[in-house]
Amino acid sequence: MNELEIIKLEMRSWLEKAQKKEVDATTAKAEIEKLQAKKMELEQRAAQPAVDVVADAKTAWSEVRSALMEKRAITQNGAGAVNVVSDIIRAIVDGNKLAGLVSKFGGPNASTVIPVLSPHLAKPAGNAEGVTGVSADSTAVLSPKTLQPKPYVSVLPVSRLALMSTSFDRDLPAIFAEAFAGAVDEQILVGSGTGNNGLGVFVADNNGVPTSQDITTGTVGGIKTADLVTLAVKVNAVMSGAAGKAIVMHPDVFATILADATAGTDPIKYQLLNMQVMGTPIILSTYAPNTIAGDQYVAVGGDFSKYAWAYANELTIDKVVTIGSDNITVQAIQYMNFAPIIKDRFYRLKVKNS
């Protein structure tokens, strides 16, 4: 029997003693935490050297796991984490549909108010020689807004037996990275902008994308291929060649557009099957609204590099032991915030009401 198996047996023994009240709960908890720390140290040592990092979305989660293990990012006794944000953020970007398009701003810790810089230079304006009077470009302010990272928490109850008898411990960073990836997409699209939520592009707000950027469909209560073309033309007219240019919609909305039987739409539908329209990429997301009815938003188009994702340089994974139960609650916390930077770089498609 190797040392790791012996530690597992000792941990189970202390847990059983606590449940049978043969020892007091405080003593049992302290001994279990010591054994957990020793177990993690042995596993980390056995895992060296870490797997080389490969820039591939399919292997992103295993990369995060290896990087976190190498840097001892988590401890079994919940003592904290070291700075590994570059690995986590890269994994989220590689595994997401939208995170790779938006502008990212990092701060050193959760208490940092992160300045969001304009992603483009001031637009030049003509001026008479020797005359002062050129107005500043209000869209190219160095720090138009600041974002305070807010805690985003993911909680996962796990039985102690699962932790002891499998390699589940090593997969925790990967599991949480995938969960946070979904949260990022959701906030970028439909974050309410209230409470601890970021502000999404589907939400009409003067601090984000106002109603002046709305485009109404030509059909009452519905959407057709021509409406999507109108949105694409508007996007291309303002953002031709932009690296973050995209149109985002729910798969159900996309299916409705493909089912449009209007004559003469086949050339556009051929483009849609290649997930683009008028040269603008189409991204399908289940986080986008899927209600096709009057006054409802059904698609957003724009340059997503003009959207800010602010994050703190920390991801903490803690384990909370409950005395008297074999369940362990694992929770991960990442500090983030989200908001549009330049509002006139986004357009929303809204269903006509009457």
Which pLDDT tens digit goes with each residue over 25-40? 778 777 877 877 787 7
User: What percentage of the chain reaches a pLDDT higher than 90?
Assistant: 34
What pLDDT does 82 receive?
A: 39
Q: How many angstroms separate the CA atoms of 150 and 141, rounded?
A: 24
Q: For the CA atoms of 188, 193, 194, 195, what is the dihedral angle to 10 degrees?
A: 50
What pLDDT does 259 receive?
A: 92
- Residue 252 CB neighbour total at 10 angstroms: 15
Average pLDDT score over residue span 258-279: 92
Average pLDDT score over residue span 253-278: 92
Residues 6+ apart with CB under 8 A from 12: 160, 164
What pLDDT does 251 receive?
A: 94
What pLDDT does 235 receive?
A: 92
pLDDT: which is higher, 87 or 243 = 243
Domains, the chain, with CATH or none: 78-117+140-354 (3.90.1690)
Does the pLDDT value for residue 284 go beyond 80? yes
Q: How many angstroms separate the CA atoms of 103 and 92, rounded?
A: 14
Does the pLDDT value for residue 85 go beyond 90? no
What pLDDT does 64 receive?
A: 43
What pLDDT does 87 receive?
A: 61
The closest of 232, 210, 223 to 296, measured between CA atoms, is 223
**Alpha helix positions (H), the chain:** 3-19, 25-47, 60-70, 85-95, 160-165, 168-190, 225-239, 251-258, 266-273
Q: How many angstroms separate the CA atoms of 291 and 288, rounded?
A: 10
What pLDDT does 58 receive?
A: 41
The closest of 311, 308, 5, 44 to 173, measured between CA atoms, is 44
Structure tokens at 147: 């974002």
What pLDDT does 118 receive?
A: 55
Lowest mean pLDDT among 115-119, 186-190, 231-235: 115-119
What pLDDT does 288 receive?
A: 95
Which pLDDT tens digit goes with each residue over 91-137? 677 657 788 888 888 777 666 676 665 555 666 777 777 667 666 66
Q: How confident is the model at residue 317 (pLDDT cuts 50, 70, 90)?
A: confident
Q: How confident is the model at residue 319 (pLDDT cuts 50, 70, 90)?
A: confident
Q: How confident is the model at residue 157 (pLDDT cuts 50, 70, 90)?
A: confident
Average pLDDT score over residue span 12-30: 75
Contact 331, 154 (CB under 8 A): yes
What pLDDT does 53 receive?
A: 36
Which pLDDT tens digit goes with each residue over 40-75? 777 666 654 444 433 444 444 444 444 434 333 333
What pLDDT does 178 receive?
A: 78
Does the pLDDT value for residue 283 go beyond 50? yes
Q: How many angstroms separate the CA atoms of 250 and 244, rounded?
A: 19
Average pLDDT value for the chain = 78
